[in-house]
Structure 1
């Protein structure tokens, strides 16, 4: 269906249809209604290539995700996609695995003008090199964020959230609180460990142990928990930096013939759907994952429309959800 056909169905000129598609205020309301009705009845889709040539924009956003298998990342991407579509944008998803080589490969789309801007969820350690590659193109860093610099970012206060979670375990009388963490190249991992250690210092508790999982899967959490269970004395509580790791830890505890939370309390992080699927249901810190994604789109589109807008660092609220695991 062409714009000429829409004009014919609506009984107006091609110029009038074009003005309606571009939200021009000069169109008479009666003609606007006729054009919109014709568009709806014919299921007309604007020619994206023609729009790109006319506006010098692609209406595409590149989203670089470090681990799409992580339920939290998947929820953030849903938030990004929903917000993008509301603004007539589409997303291209690149699973970088926090590998800088794969990230650079995806960023070639920017050089080719195939995307108007970028949202990244790469490891904090990669930001300096990404900054060099991306330059002054519209860019927002999502979940992982910088404390300073020219890159707008959105996330939560990981230290405060981790402190609250570990403090909750300490307030329950748990004395040997272990940590299952991930890769410290990620800023969230570093900050959540920092929050964990702050509570131990304040409560004058000795660190039971810290295990570093090789990825953010339940299998990795299970393997880390097995190492903790081999300790003497073993932990009486575990804080895991993701719900997936916590779910794996609970499985290892169960297989060892122990009970959650009677023998070992478990707290996770992210507040994904998984937390309600495990048994007992998981106590966790809930991140506003879809809101994080939507805010990242808002920041990016503002940068696309206003290249000189100053950098923004947005910290959203998190929520602690106590359940049966602790």
Structure 2
């Protein structure tokens, strides 16, 4: 049995006229009601039956895409996502959340059916999958990730600045044996944070130049790490830390790494920060509650979501405008994990 406007109106307890106004993109109903009517019409299969309303429907939706890994690990992206959804709603857009596996991505139905005006990709995505999405012609904005393969609109944290600032901070505290802990193959963000760390060491004449690797090799842990962080395998982190001489402080690539490192150090019988200092990056909610509370670099998570939506709306309206990368500044949050 075919769905009618009367069916939609009855389900929402509104007039048939209100449903018609919303579907035809005419003034007379609130943005919130318009989104609700369009969403309900789509869920009931009406949009697919009446393809003439598809273009109206697509103007009211944005797709959010994120690797399922981030959702499974309680990543700080939850704050970014909430900000995206709230900002999109305030501008009259309904958000459709899509999780994907980067090793085997299938285009979401809403994108295949062209029921969205734009796409926000949160976190890492392979160049191959990004290219597949770009071929749809739907505007895309990347959040906390950039592609070296092709130009895209991006909203990023100034990771290099953060890596420099937190390293400079511990140097000012008197630390001289300073290591970096983070899998550089895991993300460009980690690589940028590591570059900032190295620049601070150079500027303070702790190392001579970028090619002075002896100090880095002695005190840093840079590969084959992230799989153990993801799976919370603290025993493996202990093995990694025991593989070389420990520095006086470890600059961790993100808070998750820092939490794992502190757990491993405690398991090794060491005290933070008395025996060794530890810092993080992101300022996730757990930082305040952790023992000891974590000194970290605060990322503008809510601003990241808002800026992503603003950039996407601008791209929807001006498709030929030059691509833009926006860097959001950071600041250090001092807590008790550093002497």
**Cα distance, 1:211 vs. partner?**
3.4
* Contact 2:282-2:298 within 8 A present in 1 as well: yes
Choose from 73, 93, 98 the match for 1:93.
98
TM superposition shift of 1:226: 4.3
- C-alpha displacement of 1:304: 2.9
In the other structure, the counterpart of 2:189 is 188
After TM superposition, give the deviation of residue 129 of structure 1 in Å. 5.3
Q: 2:65 aligns to what?
A: 63
- The answer to whether the Cα contact below 8 Å between 1:154 and 1:315 also exists between their aligned partners in 2 is yes
What SS is found at the alignment partner of 1:211? coil
1:91–1:238 distance in 2 versus 1, CA, 3 Å? same
Residue 324 of structure 1, CA deviation: 0.4
Do the aligned partners of residues 291 and 300 (structure 1) sit closer, same or farther apart at CA in structure 2, a change above 3 Å counting? same
What SS does the aligned partner of 2:275 have?
coil
Show structure 2 runs of 5+ residues with no match.
1-5, 207-214
Distance 2:84 2:221 in 1: 33
Q: Deviations over 1:75-112 (max 9, x none)?
A: 2222222223333312222143xx3x423x13565233
Q: 1:203: Cα distance to partner?
A: 2.2
The alpha carbon displacement at 1:298 in A equals 2.4
Give the total of aligned pairs.
307
> TM-score, normalised to structure 1's length?
0.79
* Deviation at residue 311 of structure 1 after TM alignment: 1.8
Change over 3 Å in CA distance of 1:217–1:185 after alignment to 2: closer
1:134 corresponds in structure 2 to 134
Structure 2 CA distance for partners of 1:152 and 1:108, relative to 1, 3 Å: same
**How many Å separate the matches in 2 of 1:324 and 1:300?**
39
Unaligned runs of 5+ in 1: none
Q: Verify: 1:268 aligned to 2:280, yes or no.
A: yes
Q: CA deviation at 1:261?
A: 0.9
SS across alignment from 2:83: helix
Question: For the Cα contact (< 8 Å) 2:166–2:332, is it kept in 1?
Answer: yes
User: Within 2, Cα distance between the matches of 1:138 and 1:269?
Assistant: 30
**1:229–1:235 Cα contact (<8 Å) kept:** no
2:304 corresponding residue in structure 1 = 292
Structure 1 stretch displaced more, 199-208 or 301-310: 301-310
2:236 counterpart residue number: 223
- The alpha carbon displacement at 1:293 in A equals 2.0
Structure 2 CA distance for partners of 1:51 and 1:259, relative to 1, 3 Å: same
The structure 1 residue matched to 2:41, chosen from 42, 47, 58, is 47
Contact residue 266 and residue 325 of structure 1 kept, 8 A: yes
Task: Specify the SS of the correspondent of 2:98.
Answer: strand
Aligned to 2:212: none
The Cα of 1:3 is off from its aligned counterpart by 6.6
Shift of 1:174: 1.2
TM-superposed CA distance for 1:127, in Å, is 3.0
Distance, in Å, in 1 between the alignment partners of 2:234 and 2:278 is: 12
Give the distance between the partners of 1:294 and 1:147, measured in 2 at CA. Answer: 24
Deviation per residue, 1:248-273 (Å, 9 max, x gap): 11111112221111111110001101
Residues 102/109 of structure 1: CA separation in 2 closer, same or farther (3 Å cut):
farther
Q: Does the Cα contact within 8 Å between 2:141 and 2:308 map onto a contact in 1?
A: yes
Please identify, of 48-57 and 198-207, the stretch whose mean Cα deviation from structure 2 is larger. Answer: 48-57
* Whole-angstrom distance in 1 between the partners of 2:156 and 2:38: 38
- CA drift of 1:230 comes to 4.4
2:79 is the alignment partner of 1:78: no
Contact kept in structure 2, 1:138 and 1:300, CA below 8 Å: yes
Output the aligned Cα RMSD: 3.5
Give the deviation of 1:295 after TM superposition. 1.9
Aligned counterparts, 1:109-128, within 5 A: 109-123=110-124, 126-127=126-127
Write out aligned runs for 1:24-35 (5 A).
24=26
